[in-house]
Amino acid sequence: MNKLFKRSVPLLLAVTLLVYALKDIEFSDFVSQFNKANYTYIVLVGIIIAVSYYMRGWRWQQPLLALGYTPTAFRATVAMQSGSVASMIVIGSGEVTRCLTLQRTDGVPFSQGVGSVVAERVVDLFMLVLILSLAFLLELARMQAYLAELTLKLPSALLIGLGLAGVLSLLVIWFVIRLPAVQNHTFMKKIIRFANGLWQGFSAIKNLPNPGLFVTLTVALQGMTWLATYLVLLSLDITSHLPPSAALTILAVSSIGGLAVPTQGGIGTFHFFVSRALVLYGLSTAEGAVVATFMHAIGFAINLVLSSISFLIIPVLIQRRNKEVALEAENEQKA
């Protein structure tokens, strides 16, 4: 029941935000927007997204190489894309799925894979701060107006109480796990081994074989994401006149929305936050909602196609891995 509740809450939030964002829109408005779009730009967007996914897999390969494993950038990309579909169903399951997939295709321990993903997320969070800073710098007035409308005021006493409760919980957990009886328990030993593997994967980012490549890929990924967003805007008559900084604003507000209200595949959250941002560029609320829906649908469709292709490739990679393991075992027996 608890798991069902946790999974249903994000879905309810997604549906609620989606309905609210599209409440004044006619279905014919969406059809008209899709019919009028310039699909030459959309094809370019698909190519850019596919290349950026490969670059992301290539970047993930770097900390894995530092751990002593040798998955190719292609196999890392396939594993990563397998997690994309999972995250559309259950929030946060994408990271788990891609690490489990890479464990089956390349023998990378799950705990170390998760640790490397966490390290990537820290880097991405840093890049998000840079994007937000750049968006504020280029679109200061618009971003101030946007955030002013979305400000949520919570009682200071509630914030203090939540903070103290969090600190107290961490102290209790730290005290309990240090008890000898707890540390010697079989289950706790498994947790400690997993935590050690997690730390190894996380700290591998300090020993990258090519740090310059990792940084270059990280910066290039942000540039590719911005370019894909801007090309989608250019594909629509209603947004083709918007400046390049508009794409940066969309990236910033959609990231803020994803952190504030995480939903499966950004459904509802993206529509709500992006449609309100487009109002700052002269679009009506209804026009902003239609454009946001178009943008999300294009990204969702491309991601779904690429992820589906990855699922077709995974069994082949697993079969190849099993043959390699069997051959190694046979050679060891002969030796």
pLDDT digits (tens, 9 = 90+) for 9-22: 555 655 665 655 56
Is 10 contained in some domain? no
User: Is 305 among the domain residues?
Assistant: yes
Number of domains in the chain: 1
- Does 185 score more than 60 pLDDT? no
Q: What is the DSSP letter of 207?
A: G
Is there a domain that residue 239 lies in? Answer: yes
Give SS3 for 224.
helix
Residue 48 has pLDDT above 90, yes or no: yes
Per-residue pLDDT tens over the stretch 217-249: 999 999 999 999 999 999 999 999 999 999 999
Tokens of 11: 């879905």
Q: Which two tokens stand for residue 223?
A: 């540039």
Distance (Å) of CA 23 to CA 222, 270, 282, 287: 32, 15, 20, 12
57, 74 in Cβ contact below 8 A? Answer: yes
Spell 5-21 as b/e; 16+ CB within 10 A means b.
eeeeebbebbeebbeeb
- Residue 250 contacts residue 229 (beta carbons within 8 Å): yes
Q: Say if residue 101's pLDDT is above 60.
A: yes
Q: Hey, what are 72's tokens?
A: 């190719």
Give the pLDDT of residue 52. Answer: 95
Is 214 domain-assigned?
yes
> CA 289 to CA 273: how far, in whole Å?
9
Of all residues in the chain, the percent with pLDDT exceeding 90 is 26
| Host domain of residue 309 | 29-152+190-334
- pLDDT for the residue 159: 46
Q: How far is Cα 125 from Cα 103, in angstroms, rounded to an integer?
A: 25
Q: Which pair of tokens denotes residue 218?
A: 């990280």
In a domain, 14, yes or no: no
Determine the average pLDDT of the residues in 124-153.
74
* Closest C-alpha to 83, from 74, 91, 93: 93
Dihedral sign computed on CA atoms, order 136, 142, 146, 147: positive
Domain annotation covers residue 16: no
The segment with the largest mean pLDDT, out of 23-27, 81-85, 175-179, 287-291, is 287-291
Rounded mean pLDDT of 123-131? 87
Output phi, psi for 268, to 5 deg: 85, -55
Q: Which residue is listed with tokens 């600190």?
A: 167
DSSP 3-state of 25: coil
The CA–CA distances, whole Å, from 49 to 231, 257, 334 equal: 11, 21, 47
Widest distance between CA atoms in the chain: 74
Which residues, 6+ apart, have CB-to-CB distance to 97 below 8 Å?
A: 82, 83, 86, 87
154-179 pLDDT tens trace? 444 544 665 666 667 666 655 655 55
Of the chain, the percentage scoring pLDDT greater than 70 comes to 72
Contact by Cβ (8 Å): 5, 188: no
30-33-35-38 Cα dihedral, nearest 10 degrees: -150
Neighbours of 38 (CB within 10 A): 14
Q: Is residue 157 part of a domain?
A: no
DSSP code per residue over 81-126:
HHHHHHHHHSTTHHHHHHHHHHHHHH---HHHHHHHHHHHHHHHHH
| The pLDDT of residue 125 | 86
pLDDT value at position 3? 53
Give pLDDT, residue 121: 87
Structural domain includes residue 66: yes
